[in-house]
Amino acid sequence: MLRSIRFLLLGIFCAFLSTVAISVYVFHDVDQDKIGHWNEAFAGLCVEGVLFTLVVGVPAWLLTLLGRQLFHLRDFSPRPMLALFLGIGVAVFQYPWEFAGRRLFPKLPDSFLVFYLAAAIVVCTVVLLCDSFKQMKLHKAPEPPSSLV
């Protein structure tokens, strides 16, 4: 389980850093006071990336751990590669979501981010628990009869 959570955190953080680099250095999508100070804007967004990783990853880990205890899935962990790709997806989808929220509703950008954070935590938890159920079913599936040919 711990391996899967580490891969989730790694996926979120690495994808967030890549997205931030493209956002700052290619699209120049920064606050008005940071225009021309690209490295400073990138450093600030890196700190935000660490916080985003922890805000999404730690509650997802705790809720998944709680769900595994509740549903008696202690012996079945989600696959680490699934967690990695889930983390990448969460981080990559965050930038377009926030960008669209700022453009469509400029007075409510924080509401869009809070909704996204809550949805990301729930989605990560559900996907990891579903994969644990899948691992349990695969482990408990009856083996096919061997043929004596």
Whether the Cβ atoms of residue 57 and residue 8 lie closer than 8 Å to each other: yes
pLDDT over 70 at 149, yes or no = no
Output the pLDDT for position 148: 62
Confidence of residue 29 (pLDDT cuts 50, 70, 90): confident
Say whether pTM exceeds 0.85.
yes
pLDDT for res 31: 78
Q: What is the phi/psi pair of residue 76, to 5°?
A: -125, 115
Q: Give yes or no for residue 145 having a pLDDT over 90.
A: no
pLDDT at 141 over 80: no
Residue 92 has pLDDT above 80, yes or no: yes
